[in-house]
Amino acid sequence: MQPFDGALAELIMVDGTLTADEITLVEDYLTEKWITPVPEALGATLWLDASDTSTIVESSGSVSQWNNKGSLGNFTQAISALQPTTGASTLNGLNVLDFASDYLVSADAASAYNDLHNGEEYIVAAVVKFGTVANPNDFYGLFGNNARSTVNIGATLYFDDRLSLSRNEWLVNLISKGSGGQPVAANTSSDNFVTPNEFAVISLLADPDNGTAADRSGFAVNDGSLVKNNTDTFAVSASDATYTMQVGAVGNSVGELTGSVAELVVVTGANATESNRQQLVTYLTEKWDVQPVPLQVGATAWFDASDPYTIIETSGSVSEWRDKSGNGYDLTQGTGTAQPTTGTRTLNGLNVLDFDGSSDYLQGAFGGTLSQPNTIFAVFQNDAASPADYIYDGDDGTNRHAFYLSSNKYNLFAGGNPNGGTIDTDPHISKAVFNGAGSSLFIDGSSVFTGSVGTQSMDGITVGARYNGANFLDGAIAELIVVDGTLTADEISRVENYLANKWGITL
Amino acid sequence: MTMHWYTWQTKNPGFDTWHTAVKTGLGMPWIGENQATGEPEPDAQQTTDYTAVVEVAADDWRAPVSDLIAGTYPDGLGTPCDPPPEPELP
């Protein structure tokens, strides 16, 4: 026997053969992990990676230099009081840099980052935690070279929680051209877009000179869809940025960051595409194990109509809606006339499933039985004037967790039938807590009723109809999240804010 | 797609005979496609039936049928009728 002389990084054995797609999936995984990481494959200009401690120059944990693994130069900070800290915090077991009103400065000339304001497309993807802004007049910069000013030239990305301006957890990408005192693109995310003091994968796809305002730029948090809300129409600037690029501040030492940065990637030019943004998000999510909100709260089942990868359809008729929880509780419908429709209807610009009110529904069994308490969130829209329709129900007559519309009221049922409120045809977020005598229904964050739903358990779900395929919903369902148990007030707030921001519903 | 309900006096051979002819004509089962990639997904849930029949009474079996299919497969098609009554809530 000849012993192997070399190094072994990873070994995967599969019982059987794989499809071509599966082989590609495994090879991509291994390539990205061991051979060419995604930021390198995409030719990142800026790639700061706190998990790679060989890129960090420090003394007693104070960072004087963070080397850029991308094509541009490194970042430094000579003033010890302004140096971020390394070795003190981790995420998923990997090192992150902590900033306490600290920042680092690019070694490159200001012109090195002109791609961020001159009309070039670019991606920003980062794993970052913004702290709560203690001073009501503060904002926290992730990077920037225009000092967050419209009279300067450059671009910034920052977190704005300024109570003095009624900001509420905004994430802003400000691209300024200087002359005229107006921004080319001030892309301001909605309130509660990011959660302070929590790591998130934030990503941005910018196309500053795009003729269509809605396509000019968009944000996403974790694996969420892009939120596009830019309406400015000003020309871009070909001039150099006003200030040297900074990380942890937005140029000219303004907006020092309180928070943590795990990784920051900027890709410009031809590789700045939506598919590559998603690839970077996947890379960062897997590496740092930053989960979307439904998974953070332990969703047992999660159905998201905005995610096309979870919808199996033929000519728009949905035969399967896949569970994103990882439990594989997929919903199916094998009868063509009973399949809801995809690709024909949106809410806040995102795809929803349309149910025809006469025969459409989806159904799936869980792998086990969920005893009460259980919590179910749904984003739905009823189209009927006087409905007797189910948004969801169990998948048999003895284990029911039903939320239905009847007698112009919202109803819950798990053996008992508390009800209340007044139904309408607006989109809503429902939160139903099935918990015996202590059950409750909230619509858009407000209590509708409390009461006893009975004691039945849940071992599957029917979406868009009664458990036996009757009382069909005439309307749309956007997202459904099933949680085994109850949630804390903070977790409820996080889920409701996630759904409200995503689907454009006011809490 | 405009749907109307039809009734058959028997499930078999009445409804089943007509439904089998429809499924054969449509080439079912249909393999679904991933909405994001457009690629067929052989492992995904298939569309195995065109429509589903509801037993309203011993001699009253009803199913929704689109106008297009009703016009294309008239042989053995049931008689137009109202939708089946929905059960009392809950």
Rg, C-alpha atoms of chain A: 25
Taken in order B40, B42, B44, B46, the sign of the CA dihedral is positive
pLDDT of residue A265: 98
Percent of chain A whose predicted confidence (pLDDT) is above 90: 68
pLDDT of residue B86: 81
pLDDT of residue A144: 97
Determine whether the interchain pair A404/B33 forms a contact, defined as Cβ–Cβ distance below 8 Å: no
pLDDT of residue A191: 66
**Displacement of CA A209 from its chain's centroid (Å):** 25
| Average pLDDT, integer, range B61-67 | 96
Taken in order A105, A111, A114, A117, the sign of the CA dihedral is positive
Taking CA atoms, A206 is separated from A24, A156, A277, in Å, by 29, 12, 10
ipTM: 0.93
Question: In Å, how far is A412's CA from the nearest CA of chain B?
Answer: 9
Residue B25 CB neighbours (<10 A): 12
Alpha carbons A249 and A138: distance in angstroms, whole number: 12
Question: In Å, how far is A463's CA from the nearest CA of chain B?
Answer: 15
Question: In Å, how far is B48's CA from the nearest CA of chain A?
Answer: 5
Question: In Å, how far is B8's CA from the nearest CA of chain A?
Answer: 17
Q: Does B50 touch chain A (CB under 8 A)?
A: yes
Determine whether the interchain pair B48/A320 forms a contact, defined as Cβ–Cβ distance below 8 Å: no
| Average pLDDT, integer, range B64-84 | 96
pLDDT of residue A23: 85
Specify the residue for token string 């002389």. A5
Residues 6+ positions from A467 with CB-CB distance below 8 Å: A393, A394, A395, A396, A397, A400, A402
pLDDT of residue A135: 65
Q: Does B81 touch chain A (CB under 8 A)?
A: no
Task: List the structure tokens of A161.
Answer: 């929680």
Residue B3 CB neighbours (<10 A): 18
Q: Does B44 touch chain A (CB under 8 A)?
A: yes
Question: In Å, how far is B17's CA from the nearest CA of chain A?
Answer: 17
pLDDT of residue A27: 84
Alpha carbons A452 and A404: distance in angstroms, whole number: 15
Determine whether the interchain pair B34/A312 forms a contact, defined as Cβ–Cβ distance below 8 Å: yes
pLDDT of residue A188: 78
Q: Where are the beta strands (DSSP E) in A161-274?
A: 170-177, 183-188, 200-206, 217-221, 246-247, 257-268
Q: Does B88 touch chain A (CB under 8 A)?
A: no
Percent of chain B whose predicted confidence (pLDDT) is above 70: 100
Which of B18, B19, B77, B89 should one mutate to test binding to chain A, selecting the residue with the greatest count of A CBs within 10 A?
A: B89
String of b and e for A153-176 (b: at least 16 CB within 10 Å)? bbbbbbbbbeeeeebebbbbbbbb
Q: Please choose, from the candidates B88, B80, B83, the residue with its C-alpha nearest in 3D space to the C-alpha of residue A411.
A: B88
Q: Does B34 touch chain A (CB under 8 A)?
A: yes
Report the residue from B41, B51, B52 with minimal CB separation from A312: B41
Q: Please choose, from the candidates A196, A204, A185, A33, the residue with its C-alpha nearest in 3D space to the C-alpha of residue A117.
A: A185
Residues 6+ positions from A172 with CB-CB distance below 8 Å: A156, A157, A158, A159, A160, A186, A187, A188, A189
- Using a CB-CB cut-off of 8 Å, the residues of chain B touching A336 are 28, 30, 47, 49-51
Angle at A178 (CA atoms; ends A173, A181), nearest 5 degrees? 90
Which of B15, B31, B35 should one mutate to test binding to chain A, selecting the residue with the greatest count of A CBs within 10 A?
A: B35
Summary mean pLDDT of chain B: 93
Determine whether the interchain pair A335/B34 forms a contact, defined as Cβ–Cβ distance below 8 Å: no
Task: List the structure tokens of A397.
Answer: 């007559």
Taken in order B37, B39, B43, B47, the sign of the CA dihedral is positive
- Using a CB-CB cut-off of 8 Å, the residues of chain A touching B87 are 466, 468, 470-471
**What confidence tens digit (pLDDT) does each residue in A72-108 have?**
999 999 999 999 999 999 999 999 999 999 999 999 9
Q: Does B55 touch chain A (CB under 8 A)?
A: no
Determine whether the interchain pair A312/B45 forms a contact, defined as Cβ–Cβ distance below 8 Å: yes
Provide the residue-wise pLDDT of chain A in tens; the chain has 507 residues: 678 888 888 999 998 888 887 887 888 778 777 888 899 999 999 999 999 999 999 999 999 999 999 999 999 999 999 999 999 999 999 999 999 999 999 999 999 999 999 999 999 999 999 987 556 677 899 999 999 988 899 999 999 877 777 777 788 888 888 876 567 777 777 766 787 888 999 999 998 888 777 778 888 888 777 777 776 666 788 999 999 999 999 999 999 999 999 999 999 999 999 889 988 998 998 899 888 889 889 999 999 998 888 899 999 999 999 999 889 999 999 999 999 999 999 998 889 999 999 999 999 999 899 999 999 999 999 999 988 999 999 999 999 999 999 999 999 999 999 999 999 999 999 999 999 999 999 999 999 999 999 999 999 999 999 999 999 999 999 999 999 999 999 889 889 988 987 888 998
